[in-house]
Amino acid sequence: MDIKQIRTKARELTKGFCRACPVCDGRACAGEVPGMGGTGSGWSFTNNIIALRSVNLNPRLIHKVHYPKTETEILGLKLALPLMIAPIGGIAFNLGEAMSEAAYQEAIAFGAVDAGIVAGTPDAVPLEVMKIGLAQAKALGPGLTIPFIKPWELDRIDQEMEMAREAGAQVVACDLDSVGLITLRLMGSPAMAKDTVELEKIVQKAHRRGLKLIVKGVMSLKDAKAALSAEVDGLLISNHGGRVLDGAPGMAQALPRIAQELKGRIPLLADGGIRSGVDILKTLALGADAVMIGRPFALMAIGGGREAVAFLVNTLRSQLEQAMVMTGCPDVAKADRSLLWPEED
């Protein structure tokens, strides 16, 4: 497939809502929310790119790593590489009706599974958005998507947890950071921040149904420790793509401190500014167990459908394998700070 052709088609279909830039760094779309940009000055989005770009891998070529292992398992999910697709909902609202919500979510969910990974399904003020994603989840089979649930009032969270269970979910996520989304406020959202007591109740709602719960939006060690004490099953280090708070640090700035304290105690996922297999390896070296990528897959789905989504996954896997060979990393499970420059004595 031709990435340039896919990007050109996506640019035409998004009607100015996304410029499909060769480097997706938030500069051209700063402040465009709704849309695909970062909030305010757009710095938090751009900072994700800059922070990760400032991390350098350490080339090592005297070794016997020829065919590195990219397969991994996290929270019971078997993945061809430590990558999942982040959910993006409200295609009509954010991308000018470039395609229908159902067609978009189908391309993402099925393209992910075609390439051996899983995707998150989105949630939104209209419950119909979640229902569309859960229909895809049910069609794919148990455990092949991760439904995301926003921090609504507890009764709605309970309702959506049950819907996710009925659709065959094994892992769900709560994106606490979405309380800052302008789009939710414009639609009269009841989403709100949660204290530790409320978070514990959300965890209990998941566990009673046999579901594992990831909490998304953790950017501070204090929040990470609070979530751990609430017995969540995984943490997703993320500033929501720079869409919720201007002037926030990039993911690659927040991840190392959290990983230093909690690596090995709870699965750590990360997203924000990851654009290549090299970026995936950098993020693993900084302490993540797996990553999520959003915007680049949106363009693939819009410009080329299910096949383009799978194509991008496979491209990222090839890039990751090459980076692992060039740094002497035999297994993604063994990626650590020794892969980074400057090397420690």
**Averaged pLDDT, 49-58:** 98
Expressed as residue numbers, the domain containing 231 is 82-329
Average pLDDT over residues 287-313: 97
pLDDT > 70: percent of the chain: 100
Poorest-pLDDT segment among 179-183, 255-259, 330-334: 179-183
Q: Is the pLDDT of residue 187 over 80?
A: no
Residue 345 has pLDDT above 70, yes or no: no
Model confidence at 17, pLDDT cuts 50, 70, 90, reads: confident
pLDDT of residue 96: 82
Average of per-residue pLDDT across 88-92:
83
Residue 180 counted as domain residue: yes
| Statement: residue 183 has pLDDT above 80 | no
Domain presence at residue 65: no
Q: Per the domain annotation, does 262 fall within a domain?
A: yes
Which pair of tokens denotes residue 328?
A: 């002497």
Residues 6+ apart with CB under 8 A from 241: 38, 45, 48, 86, 271, 272, 294, 295
pLDDT bracket for residue 46 (50, 70, 90) = very high
Rounded distance between C-alpha atoms, residue 136 and residue 130, angstroms: 10
Average pLDDT over residues 233-262: 97
Residues 36/18, Cβ–Cβ less than 8 Å: yes
Distance CA 110, CA 278 (A): 25
Spatial separation of the C-alpha atoms in residues 122 and 137, rounded to whole Å:
11
Over residues 152-175, the mean pLDDT reads 97
Q: State the average pLDDT for the chain.
A: 95
Neighbouring C-beta atoms of residue 249, cutoff 10 Å: 17
CATH number for position 172: 3.20.20.70
Asked whether residue 29 is assigned to any structural domain, the reply reads no
Distance CA 340, CA 327 (A): 9
Q: What is the pLDDT of residue 100?
A: 93
So what's the pLDDT on residue 151? 96
Q: Are the beta carbons of 48 and 283 closer than 8 angstroms?
A: no
Position 17 in a domain: no
Provide the terminal-to-terminal Cα distance of the chain, rounded to the nearest Å. 44
Is the pLDDT reported for residue 98 higher than 90? no
Q: Does some domain include residue 66?
A: no
The band of 275, judged by pLDDT with boundaries at 50, 70 and 90, is very high
* Total number of domains constituting the chain: 1
For residue 99, the model assigns a pLDDT of 92
pLDDT at position 34: 82
User: What does the pLDDT read at residue 143?
Assistant: 95
Distance CA 335, CA 77 (A): 19
Please give the average per-residue pLDDT across 104-130, as a whole number: 96
Task: State how beta strands 83-85 and 290-293 pair.
Answer: parallel
pLDDT tens digits, residue range 203-244? 999 999 999 999 999 999 999 999 999 999 999 999 999 999
Q: Give the pair of three-digit tokens for residue 107.
A: 């391309």
Does residue 63 fall inside a structural domain?
Answer: no
Asked whether residue 309 is assigned to any structural domain, the reply reads yes
